[in-house]
Structure 1
Amino acid sequence: MGLLSSTPQHQPTSDDNAIVTSSTNNSTTPDDKMAAAPGRHSDNSLSLADKSETIELQLRATQSSAVHKDDLHLDRDGRDSIADGQVTDYRTYRRRWFGVAQLTMLNIIVSWDWLTFAPVASSAATYYNVTETSINWLSTAFLFSFVVVSPVTIKILHMGPKLSIMVAAALVLIGNWVRYAGSHSSRGGTYGVVMFGQILTGLAQPFVLAAPTRYSDMWFSNRGRVGATALMSLANPFGAAIGQLVVPFMVEKPSQMSQGVLYVSIISSVCALPAFFIPAAPPTPASASALTSKLPLVASLRTASRSLELWLLLIPFAFYVGFFNSCSSLLNQMLNPYGLSDDEAGIGGALLIVVGLVVAAITSPILDRTKAFLPSIKCAVPLIATAYLAFVWMPETRAVAGPYAVLSLLGAASFALVPVALELLSEMSHPISPEVTSVLAWAGGQLLGGCFILISDALQAGPDADPPLHMKKALVFQAVVALLVAPLPLCLGLFGRADKVSLRRVRSDTAALSA
């Protein structure tokens, strides 16, 4: 057998958690062989499931091979190493929580930046001397910015999450202070400057919103990925809840718009600065699947585009994220015509998110243990569609009880869905790098969110309607579309295609642990 170089063994430090496992592998893992073999990338006749099955067979073959005593020798430090392979310690490190905390803070603040103006649209319109439609464009431009920079995001995340996080932090810092430059006077602001700053903060969003799956894949084992992804991803709508709830109290009249933007800029700066000091990668891998060499980007996109199962999940995910973004941006304009105040609408927006966070905090650890990803998705999707249908009639009640109840249900189902859907996309698409499906899913949601805001604005009733400027048609539109896409994820695993929704990373990790 040919001699392979041995990787230096990492010495445990006080930063280390307990070793998850030690596994003897060849220096090139079975997954690596699959990804690196000539012709594998270009073999379009193989489906994603076929490739995964080949990887699984190679993994089992590797793990069944015995390591003989003659293969061992002492290295320069006097430690045992393997002549034709290497001993890999799968570890998790406490330092990973620094990166989790930083991604969480950035996702909170970038979403708060998005909703700096929408919760006080009337005051913002007066302050900047524009219409409320122009204020809606601040939210819409933010969402479209995500789509524009998505190809760059995939490329940067493919190199590792740290660079992506630093790019986001820099854009957040610059964008916020540009917005304040256009809002520094209490007598009025410059809309064009604010729009430019808003676009810069919008460009920051994909670099942190799509990063959690990549980060958890690198730093966490399969027993912690869902929880980590949930914490980092759901911080984004939590920031929207803060914006919905806090901004109306910060900006009670047009002249306070300047100080509101200043406060958000200061908070954003404090949250962004630590991003430049997070660790780039763990010293040793957290799991066997983390060792896998991912498919190149072009091959990844080609493979993903031909997977029916990925589309059955990507499409409803994008539509529901789009409606969530649209509803969050326009909630005040949906409720105000029926007598509800900005503060009451803000509380409704906060309930939409806070209840969802509580439910996600309960379900994510359970799903980390059970891996019941598909059943949970099939339960959440009908609830989401039903909630959008029920919300059509809630503003007309002219009371807070109905809207609050439906928004709470919508938030609970939506937040339970997000981390599970992202993890299932990564599992079904393995060995495609997680950032590919994550960026595609979020980019679709942001693009549709921007489109839905424009469509809803166009469907808004005129000033002569009863009540004036109501958005009943927009509510009907989102309910109908939400119901139309609901059957798609319910078809996953049916019609003899159960093997297409297997958890490939989990299988790889489990096989390595049992070796």
Structure 2
Amino acid sequence: MADRPPFTSRPSIEDAESEMAPLHPASTHDLEVTESQGQLIDATGHARIYKRRFFGLFQLVLLNIIISWDWLTFSAVSSTAAQFFQVSESAINWLSTGFLFAFVAVTPCTIWALHRGPKTSIVISALLLFAGNWIRYAGTRVGRFGVVIFGQIIIGFAQPFVLAAPTRYSDLWFTGKGRVSATAIASLANPLGGALGQLIGPLWVTKPEDVPDMVLYTAIISCVACLPSFFIPSKPPTAPSVNGDNEKLTVSESIQSLKRNKPFFLILTAFGVYVGFFNAVSSLINQIFEPYGFSETEAGIAGALLIVVGLVASAVVSPLVDRTKQYLLTIKLLVPLIAIGYLLLIFVPETRTVIGPYVVCALLGAASFSLLPCALEYLVEITYPASPEVSSTICWAGGQLLGAIFIIIMDALKGGVSGEPEATMKRALIFQAVVSWLAVPCVFALNLLDKSSIGLRRHGAETTTEEHG
């Protein structure tokens, strides 16, 4: 065993928390620090975690909320914004679609930044948010729509640096008992921000002349939210598990590993399709229901149910998955529910009653939001020892890219159905349901692969190391 370093070189005991039983009061005698692993462990070989991890998690949540709010700034007031900029509503819609495409463009940079550490990624996102918001405001103030699009794209560049960060952050700061919950909290902050944007925007904009003020208020809030990014800790004094962060592959090695990982591609396909359609439905929900006589308020409530019920469901499911580690079973239960939801969505608008859309949107929200963190953490497990930021960033990029493509396709499929309202999106909803069901077999095909390839590799490695610690 390596010689013990002086006591003063140990991390602060007061700052550390153990998810195991409390140490004996004379805890300084029950702790062991090894120079080879640089970890603080107790007599049973369990590593330690730190309260400061919640500061970084809070900032990750805050930035995900703000970026999503920025993304949908103009969506809820599209007609008024179109009047202000003297452009069509389709042009306003491209602010949202271009934002999704921007994610894909900086995916390699995101992987590099997250591999260096989540703080690097968070700081980059904060700087891009700051620049994009003020460029967007400048364009709005002088009435230059092209400048607004440029600012929106820069904000879009900021999104992947925090949206893809939760798995990397939870892997660095949390133990296996809290990773799914930490990933859920940070990831699901994104749609919460979108809901805030759609709710608050119409309150600030009642006429075209109000648009610059709305963009100014959003810019101020965004910049204030960015400030804590520069003060979060880079990494914990010791790894959250005895296995630590030392055995992760490099980025290039991780990518090579993923190329040979069949379970990764199956999960990637399902994840990309369902994230893509969730983005599409969120963006087009007014256009789905309005042709059938639903008001903007009723469509907005449906969108709110999609998000709020989803957040509540995920708050219940994520801790259960944390405790049981039943990732694959949970995914197999949720994916068919999502596909059923998209199938039902074809028929509920024509009922012209609010109960149908509300129930279906609640179902879609509950299943989609519960699936998201579970799938992201399962990806980390089946791709271990690949760095978690590589798999999560690639999957998010796939979801955002498909979301933008689905929006374009579904918009092109408007109308054209005999006996339906002129602007009906029934063909688009049929397309959505068909593709959703085609993605279902991907998760069940995992059972056809070797069991070792779909097992919990990271969890197994950490458990084995602790047992032999």
Is the TM value for this pair above 0.5? yes
Q: Is contact 2:11–2:237 with CA below 8 Å preserved after alignment? A: no
* Residue type of the alignment partner of 1:249: L
Q: Is contact 1:230–1:360 with CA below 8 Å preserved after alignment? A: yes
Q: Equivalent of 1:134, from 91, 99, 109?
A: 91
- 1:378 CA displacement: 0.2
Q: Equivalent of 1:268, from 189, 197, 222?
A: 222
- 1:6 CA displacement: 6.7
1:311-352 deviations in Å (ceiling 9; x for gaps): 110101001101111111111122222222222222221111
- Structure 1 equivalent of residue 231 of structure 2: 277
Q: Is contact 1:81–1:87 with CA below 8 Å preserved after alignment? A: yes
- Structure 1 equivalent of residue 290 of structure 2: 336
| DSSP-derived class of the 1:289 partner | coil
User: Aligned residue pairs: how many?
Assistant: 454
Q: Equivalent of 2:403, from 435, 449, 455?
A: 449
* Residue type of the alignment partner of 2:96: S
| Pairing 1:380–2:334 present | yes
Identical pairs, percent? 52
- 1:247 CA displacement: 2.1
1:402-423 deviations in Å (ceiling 9; x for gaps): 1111111000000000000000
- 1:19 CA displacement: 7.2
Unaligned runs of 5+ in 2: 23-30, 42-46
Q: Equivalent of 2:442, from 479, 488, 505?
A: 488
Unaligned runs of 5+ in 1: 23-78
- Structure 1 equivalent of residue 198 of structure 2: 244
Q: How has the CA–CA distance of structure 1 residues 386 and 474 changed in structure 2, closer, same or farther, with 3 Å as cutoff?
A: same
- Structure 2 equivalent of residue 459 of structure 1: 413
- 1:87 CA displacement: 6.5
Q: How has the CA–CA distance of structure 1 residues 269 and 482 changed in structure 2, closer, same or farther, with 3 Å as cutoff?
A: same
Q: How has the CA–CA distance of structure 1 residues 340 and 497 changed in structure 2, closer, same or farther, with 3 Å as cutoff?
A: same
- 1:211 CA displacement: 0.5
What does 1:96-495 align with in structure 2 at a 5 Å threshold?
96-184=53-141, 189-461=143-415, 466-492=420-446, 494-495=447-448
Matches of 1:481 and 1:321, distance apart in 2 = 12
Matches of 1:460 and 1:5, distance apart in 2 = 71
- 1:376 CA displacement: 0.4
Q: How has the CA–CA distance of structure 1 residues 472 and 420 changed in structure 2, closer, same or farther, with 3 Å as cutoff?
A: same
- 1:15 CA displacement: 2.1
Q: How has the CA–CA distance of structure 1 residues 302 and 349 changed in structure 2, closer, same or farther, with 3 Å as cutoff?
A: same
- Structure 2 equivalent of residue 55 of structure 1: none
* Residue type of the alignment partner of 1:265: A
* Residue type of the alignment partner of 1:301: I
284-293 vs 414-423, which moves further: 284-293
Matches of 1:84 and 1:375, distance apart in 2 = 38
- 1:258 CA displacement: 2.1
Matches of 1:299 and 1:84, distance apart in 2 = 23
Matches of 1:496 and 1:281, distance apart in 2 = 36
Q: TM-score, normalised by structure 1?
A: 0.83
Matches of 1:216 and 1:338, distance apart in 2 = 44
Matches of 2:66 and 2:39, distance apart in 1 = 42
| DSSP-derived class of the 2:48 partner | strand
Q: Is contact 1:4–1:85 with CA below 8 Å preserved after alignment? A: no
* Residue type of the alignment partner of 2:171: D
Q: TM-score, normalised by structure 2?
A: 0.91
- 1:436 CA displacement: 0.4
* Residue type of the alignment partner of 1:479: A
Matches of 2:48 and 2:253, distance apart in 1 = 30
What does 1:9-48 align with in structure 2 at a 5 Å threshold?
9-18=9-18, 20=20
Q: Is contact 1:119–1:329 with CA below 8 Å preserved after alignment? A: no
1:94-133 deviations in Å (ceiling 9; x for gaps): 0000000000000011011111112222222122111111
Matches of 1:93 and 1:354, distance apart in 2 = 30
Q: Is contact 1:157–1:435 with CA below 8 Å preserved after alignment? A: yes
Q: Is contact 1:119–1:342 with CA below 8 Å preserved after alignment? A: no
* Residue type of the alignment partner of 1:275: S
